Amino acid sequence: MSAAVITPRIIGGLPNAVRSEWTKLWTVRSSWLNLAAGVLLSTLLGMQYGWGLAYDNSHLGPGEVAEKQPIGHFGASVILIVQVVIAAFALLTVTSEYATGSIRSTLQWTPVRRYVVLAKAAVLAPVLFGYGVVVAALASVAGGLTAGSWADWEAAGFVTDLLSVGFYATAAGLFSAGIAWAVRSTAGTLTVAFLLLLVVPLMMGQSSLRALVWTSALLPGGAGQNYLTGATDPLSPVLSAVVLIAWAVGGLALGAGVLKRRDA
């Protein structure tokens, strides 16, 4: 009688990890609540910016000239605030597993720890891009409608602005997810993301000291603002995009390194 040959079933590969992360992302309530909050907030902010533009152009001071605004600029402006909501969407995919203890099961099923980080990033990247495009589109349309005749609905510029916001949302979200692997707590990661994406770049960018302006441009939030607005000082949009990619990759690399060294 021949001996039975048992072929072990490999369950920890990267493709399986990606499928698992995709399922987990859409079967938790927090993902859907975050999306609803992002959609609502971006729409309301877009309407506010549109009304603000219409009011300003209708109440010009001496020497001021009214100008139309491309609707895509409403979306680019809104994302600078909604980015915190998008960052929360990304980081919760990591910190929620530590909060519930399910990270232990995740690492048992996918023992190669870098695969877990890569799988989450692979799932998050297209979702974050789509998230950014959707909220920017909603804000742009809402702003254009409330701005009335002061809105410029030129299609090519609108599409370019949407793609730019999608890119920035992806970079900011992946950076936040990478930091989440190192910090592990939702409050701690959200604090770091809030400071580096919004507060610190905003404060430094308004300084009269060139060193602080440069520092702001090299932070993820400052690079994102320069990229979305098309500013060329102190960095061009292309260099700002490179800075954003570096922060996203660096954050994920840091997270993977910490996960490899620490116990779950």
Pick from 2, 133, 157, 131: which is nearest to 69 by CA?
Answer: 157
Q: pTM for the whole thing? A: 0.91
Show Cβ contacts of residue 207 under 8 Å, excluding neighbours closer than 6 positions.
Answer: 213, 216
What count of residues does the chain have? 264
**Per-residue pLDDT at 12:** 53
Pick from 70, 76, 86: which is nearest to 34 by CA?
Answer: 86
Per-position pLDDT tens, the chain of length 264: 344 443 334 455 899 999 999 999 999 999 999 999 999 999 999 999 999 999 999 888 887 888 899 999 999 999 999 999 999 999 999 999 999 999 999 999 888 999 999 999 999 999 999 999 999 999 999 999 999 999 999 999 999 999 999 999 999 999 999 999 999 999 999 999 999 999 999 999 888 899 999 999 999 999 999 999 998 889 999 999 999 999 999 999 999 999 998 865
CA Rg value for the chain: 21
CB–CB of 154/70 below 8 Å?
yes
Quote the CA–CA distance of 169 and 192 in Å, as a whole number: 16
**Per-residue pLDDT at 207:** 86
148: left (phi over 0), alpha (psi -120 to 50) or beta: left
Quote the CA–CA distance of 190 and 176 in Å, as a whole number: 8
Quote the CA–CA distance of 52 and 255 in Å, as a whole number: 41
